[in-house]
Amino acid sequence: MSQTTLIKVKDLYVNFYTYAGVVQALDGVNVDLKQGEILGLVGETGCGKSVTSLSILNLVPAPGKIEGGSILVKKGETNDDVLLMDDPELRQMRGRDVSMIFQEPRAYLNPVYTVENQISESMLVHRKEEFLKRGIGELEKEKKGKSFEAKLYRRMITKPSSITTRLLGKLSRQRVWKKEAQKEVVSVLKSVEISDPDRVARMYPHELSGGMAQRVVIAMSLACNPSVLIADEPTTNLDVTVQAQILNLIRQLKKKYASSILYITHDLGVVAQLCDRVAVMYAGNVIETADVFEVFKSPFHPYTRALLESIPTPGKEFKSIPGLVPSLVDPISGCRFRDRCRYAMEICQKTKPPFLEVKPGHFAACYLYGGS
């Protein structure tokens, strides 16, 4: 199966310039997302999972700064580097090519706008032309192809940003683009299995339950049929039964739209149930990448092994990883896991282990598996 790579993150470095010092949040991250797969990005708090995902949209908040590397996003036939795009290009890319689902649906939704308003927002940015064409089509059917409305819509397509168009736009009584967007919102809400989309579309976020709010946020990210979806812990604050529903929804959406999903989580159970491939992160590095079965059956990196062992099993003692996650302000030299590692060697102190393909499709960054 030939798989095209949709996103390729290469040697990404991100620093945060805080008062406490420079936090080296990402230290040469390499991840790639292929067509039609769900890639799980796993790691503990503060390991850089969210920063990686924000970098892909070039949304790293200040005082963070992307210091180096490249992020190639496939757009049509070309691969564009996100870090070299200017603002209009970024605006085009965000939401249409790559869109994101954030962790806390309630914080993400604007409390003073209705669901409909918020979902149609990105549609009106990216798909206005499409809606206008639909409007013209309908007017032509009614044999009003030469009416003021139809002329206006055509003008809006050809000269969208001229001042006269914008002024005349205000005169339009039909506002066909908004009506079309509303129709579209209902169909998107239906696709995320909301039972009463017409009513929900007119609700405000506080009227929604946690599970519903998360569905609305997913609908929002699907509004423009993106080829890549980034989901940042979308089920963390939900109950297990609702989580199971959302996971199933994500699975179905993937089948339906065949889009690729970058799924960020710290829950290994969710990874095992949902993902095709896994990338494990530790202290700003991706330390292991492999097929999900491979990771759970024969993990290479000592951290991955320790993480899997710390899953509680009844009748056994809880195994924990000794020590703490290192500070990223002044990280230790060499391998960042070495002071918690059972197999630490002399070389681990000196240089950072390279990220090597140990087995076909199974990458790890550890001197136990070569590289000197």
* Interaction site with another protein (CB under 8 A): 44-45, 209-212, 239-245, 247-248, 251, 266-274, 292-293, 296, 306-308, 310-321, 324-325
What's the closest the beta carbon of residue 224 comes to another protein, in angstroms? Answer: 27
What's the closest the beta carbon of residue 235 comes to another protein, in angstroms? Answer: 9
Q: Can you say how many angstroms the Cα of residue 350 is from the centroid of all Cα atoms in its chain? A: 35
Q: Which is nearer to another protein, 202 or 319 (CB)?
A: 319
What's the closest the beta carbon of residue 54 comes to another protein, in angstroms? Answer: 20
- Whole-angstrom CA distances from 129 to 143, 185, 333 are 21, 16, 54
d(CA 321, CA 302): 10
Tell me the residue type at 333. Answer: S
Q: Which is nearer to another protein, 73 or 280 (CB)?
A: 280
Q: Which is nearer to another protein, 172 or 237 (CB)?
A: 237
Give the start-end residues of each E strand in the chain. Answer: 5-18, 21-34, 38-42, 64-75, 78-81, 98-101, 228-232, 260-265, 277-282, 285-291, 356-359, 362-364
Q: Which is nearer to another protein, 6 or 307 (CB)?
A: 307
What's the closest the beta carbon of residue 310 comes to another protein, in angstroms? Answer: 4
What's the closest the beta carbon of residue 215 comes to another protein, in angstroms? Answer: 11
Please say whether the beta carbons of 368 and 343 come within 8 A. Answer: yes
Q: Which is nearer to another protein, 42 or 57 (CB)?
A: 42
What's the closest the beta carbon of residue 104 comes to another protein, in angstroms? Answer: 14
User: Backbone phi, then psi, for 34, in 5-degree steps?
Assistant: -100, 165
Question: What is the C-alpha R_g of the chain?
Answer: 24
Q: Which is nearer to another protein, 106 or 251 (CB)?
A: 251
Please say whether the beta carbons of 323 and 337 come within 8 A. Answer: no
Sheet of 285-291, strands arranged across: 98-101, 228-232, 260-265, 38-42, 277-282, 285-291, 362-364, 356-359
Q: Which is nearer to another protein, 36 or 40 (CB)?
A: 40
What's the closest the beta carbon of residue 243 comes to another protein, in angstroms? Answer: 7
Q: Which is nearer to another protein, 247 or 332 (CB)?
A: 247
Give the start-end residues of each E strand in 242-322. Answer: 260-265, 277-282, 285-291
Question: Read out DSSP for 201-233?
Answer: HT--GGGS-HHHHHHHHHHHHHTT--SEEEEES
With the CA atoms of 188, 190, 196 and 199 taken in that order, what torsion angle do they form, in degrees rounded to the nearest 10?
10
- Whole-angstrom CA distances from 360 to 29, 212, 293, 363 are 20, 41, 14, 8
What's the closest the beta carbon of residue 317 comes to another protein, in angstroms? Answer: 7
What's the closest the beta carbon of residue 281 comes to another protein, in angstroms? Answer: 12
Please say whether the beta carbons of 100 and 57 come within 8 A. Answer: yes
Q: Which is nearer to another protein, 308 or 344 (CB)?
A: 308
Q: Which is nearer to another protein, 312 or 360 (CB)?
A: 312
What's the closest the beta carbon of residue 297 comes to another protein, in angstroms? Answer: 8
d(CA 210, CA 221): 17
- 3-state secondary structure (DSSP) of residue 73: strand
Q: Can you say how many angstroms the Cα of residue 303 is from the centroid of all Cα atoms in its chain? A: 24
